[in-house]
Structure 1
């Protein structure tokens, strides 16, 4: 009996010794290095970099958490006791940020927390909207990594801008901006640059004495016309009133013809636009814009006022029609031959009386 007890004690001690040896073989999770690829950055990474984690006791990876709030997905097939790989995420909605932040790894052998620095990438400019800018008009800049912008300049001069998102900003172009100027966006990540080309912009008239056409007169069934009405948003403006007369069947105002507004190379109507500031006394007042060419052709575009406040109406020459705007699309319109712009009121389908107001007429070629 005593011998049996001795044998049992010996067996129990042997089992305890074996278990202790097994426990001695278990290695707690430990991380020696985090290496970003490409570039072999140590304990640093850019968003979307793959990071190779090296250490011991890393088998059975269960969870990776960045900055105590962002769970990182990983492929368990790329997990060994000495290494695994994951990709740095970046999601504004989840609170991603740049800078040094904790990252926690939970494995089958415990958890370990290290610090990693998320670096801000260099910003890029991919395109502008529109592709060809116009002095005095806003310009949207699309790109990447527009975070923590410190300055936006054009030709070395600071610009006001509105940040729409991390991939889009809107800048206000000065009226005296020069084509070929360099746009520069600076962030902590670096600098993005792009040469900005500007459209050809011709001021027809601002009714303050500036432009290629300054002496305006009216004709036809008008009640009154004043090319020097005071109190506009940018100075004087023109006012044309129609009170129902149909003696002539038409009306309008013009500063006459003359030399072509655009050069002979600016032919494409789809790249040519008229910008005109408009208002009226009543919703529904209908503008009639007429273009005459150096070779005696005429085209028209009609539109109704939908807002009594001053607004800028932009019209593509490709949208003009022949027969004073009531005919077929002006497919043969050569923008380089336009030498006169007339502004009037459509006498049909318009309120009586109608008083239209207009200012700052420009022709723009992109």
Structure 2
């Protein structure tokens, strides 16, 4: 029995010594001055991932390395934002946490003070830069397809420190609603959709935005191979002198050119595209909502008078007169309800053309209306616009 008691006493003595040594070791750790050698984060946005020192993006996992880092009580950015961390990952040599970012709590981008407070009250303060991510633009625009001249809301993330917003390459005024949305007005002169570009210190992000012009556009011919009548197979007739397809000096590539040099054998002149199926939809029946649009130039023959002709499937020929009073390319836009019947621009008493039946376009020089001699008309980009 005495031997067993002796052994128990020896074992208790051993435990007491271990506890004392352990206590002394803990005292040494807690009394050691905390030192941070650096904060290291892994940027998974690059391939391969990049290790950043003393900086990181929101959400990045950061490992603070040094000595005396045990028993961390709190981690703060800018004395405002507390960082949630797992104490189980805390050791004397390191502490791990994620870069926390909450605009409502005062988070910001840039270099700021990162404060680590230990349970003992010791404080470590170091500089840390929160990097701004590239803007994320979501697919959801509001409305999805906005009309020209109206407001559109762009949704996404990281709308901070915006230096510019562009639509189709053109800067637009914008209003930042929050870090996840902004608004701007779709330019009233926009004719097609384009990329929305948002630039911040994080870079430039783009996403395509389609638009509703409030009308349907029907391209007839651009003489570069586009449109419903893409071929350069127009035929001249009457007293016309020449019909050619130059490219130099055009508004957009190849264009058509008709000349008249004074011949009067027929009493009229012109050229015409090939006829075919209707150019507009069957629903386009209101001539007050259908517009004929064309780009023209006189090629130096100022004073050239032209009659734009549209032909319907019933054989009707409707005319609109225009005087090219200045040199240089200009755009004519006329309601089809303003076209006169039977080749006569002034004949407004026989109703209007049914736009849905238009199947051919012609160009003529009004040689009997006091036009200059010689006359020249150049034209391109024939299209119809129908309001909804």
1:338 maps to what in 2? 358
1:162 CA displacement: 5.6
1:313 maps to what in 2? 332
Contact 1:320/1:329 (CA < 8 Å) preserved in 2? no
- Separation (CA, whole Å) in 1 of partners of 2:226 and 2:315: 26
1:331 CA displacement: 2.8
Count of matched residue pairs: 217
Q: Structure 1 residue 288 and structure 2 residue 307: aligned?
A: yes
Larger CA Rg, structure 1 vs 2: 2
Q: Structure 1 residue 160 and structure 2 residue 170: aligned?
A: yes
Q: Structure 1 residue 355 and structure 2 residue 376: aligned?
A: yes
Contact 2:307/2:363 (CA < 8 Å) preserved in 1? yes
Match of 2:340, SS state, is coil
The superposition leaves residues 231-278 of structure 1 with CA deviations (integer Å, 9 ceiling, x where unpaired) of 412101111111111111111111121000011111111111111110
State the TM-score, normalized to the length of structure 2.
0.48
Contact 1:161/1:169 (CA < 8 Å) preserved in 2? no
> Taking structure 1 as reference, are residues 340 and 362 closer, same or farther at Cα in structure 2, changes over 3 Å only?
same
What is the aligned counterpart of 2:219 among 203, 206, 220?
203
Contact 2:166/2:172 (CA < 8 Å) preserved in 1? no
Contact 2:336/2:352 (CA < 8 Å) preserved in 1? no
- Separation (CA, whole Å) in 2 of partners of 1:358 and 1:212: 16
- Separation (CA, whole Å) in 2 of partners of 1:345 and 1:312: 17
1:326 maps to what in 2? 346
- Separation (CA, whole Å) in 2 of partners of 1:195 and 1:208: 25
What is the aligned counterpart of 1:233 among 251, 273, 286?
251
1:150 CA displacement: 5.4
Contact 1:319/1:330 (CA < 8 Å) preserved in 2? no
What is the aligned counterpart of 1:253 among 239, 253, 271?
271
- Separation (CA, whole Å) in 2 of partners of 1:282 and 1:142: 44
Contact 2:293/2:333 (CA < 8 Å) preserved in 1? yes
What is the aligned counterpart of 2:289 among 271, 275, 287?
271
- Separation (CA, whole Å) in 2 of partners of 1:248 and 1:258: 26
**Aligned pairs (5 A) from 1:19-38:** none
Contact 1:159/1:172 (CA < 8 Å) preserved in 2? no
The superposition leaves residues 98-124 of structure 1 with CA deviations (integer Å, 9 ceiling, x where unpaired) of xxxxxxxxxxxxxxxxxxxxxxxxxxx
Q: Structure 1 residue 364 and structure 2 residue 385: aligned?
A: yes
State the TM-score, normalized to the length of structure 1.
0.51
2:159 maps to what in 1? none
Q: CA RMSD in A?
A: 3.8
> Taking structure 1 as reference, are residues 195 and 210 closer, same or farther at Cα in structure 2, changes over 3 Å only?
closer
- Separation (CA, whole Å) in 2 of partners of 1:248 and 1:283: 24
Contact 1:239/1:358 (CA < 8 Å) preserved in 2? yes
1:216 maps to what in 2? 234
Any unmatched runs of 5+ in structure 2?
A: 1-145, 153-161, 174-183, 199-208
- Separation (CA, whole Å) in 2 of partners of 1:309 and 1:162: 29
Q: Structure 1 residue 173 and structure 2 residue 190: aligned?
A: yes
- Separation (CA, whole Å) in 1 of partners of 2:263 and 2:247: 23
> Taking structure 1 as reference, are residues 169 and 257 closer, same or farther at Cα in structure 2, changes over 3 Å only?
closer
1:203 CA displacement: 1.4
1:304 maps to what in 2? 323
